[in-house]
Amino acid sequence: MSQYRIFLISLLAAIVAGCASTSIPDPEAGDGSMDSSGDGSSSSGFEDRSAFGGEDVPFEGSDAAMAMIIYFDFDQSDLKPQYADLLARHANRLSNNSAARIRLEGHADERGSREYNIGLGERRSQAVRRMLLIQGATTSQISTVSFGEERPAAFGSNEESYALNRRVEIKYLN
């Protein structure tokens, strides 16, 4: 019970911290999507953020920090070119460290059925996985899971909350 309470407090703190500096670009501007899933869908222009409150997580032995979240448009599952450099850096880290393992966690907003959102989260995590594999990561380094709408990053029934919940989180396991 206390772990749940700590998790809840941490999540709320992350949401408050993330909302303080979040700017959402115009989704109509620059729609150069690269279709990794082959289904003609596209991703959004939202800022990259780490798993906790928008802060970057530095990697071991590196002064650089990388974002850990890829955001998507409503009902879409492919990647925009704006994420190419970020994913190339993650793929480079994986290809240079054969012991590194990641889990790609796909998420969706609350709109749609539970089953549909699980599938959408899976398509999103698979799109990120395919890009990492193309850029040098190996299949043994990457696992995927879909939480659908079950683990929202933001609570609320508005476009801002929905936008923050349409994501894939990159989690390093070691």
Place of tokens 């594999």: 133
Q: What is the CATH number of domain 2-172?
A: 3.30.1330.60
Indicate whether 98 pLDDT > 80.
yes
User: Which of 85, 75, 88, 73 is closest to 30 using CA atoms?
Assistant: 73
The lowest-confidence range among 42-46, 158-162, 168-172 is 42-46
Residue 171 pairs with which residues in a beta bridge? Answer: 103
Indicate whether 54 pLDDT > 50.
no
Give the residue, 3 or 72, on which the prediction is more confident: 72
Indicate whether 102 pLDDT > 70.
yes
Q: How many residues does the chain have?
A: 174
Indicate whether 174 pLDDT > 90.
no
Indicate whether 58 pLDDT > 60.
no
Looking at residue 78, its pLDDT comes to 92
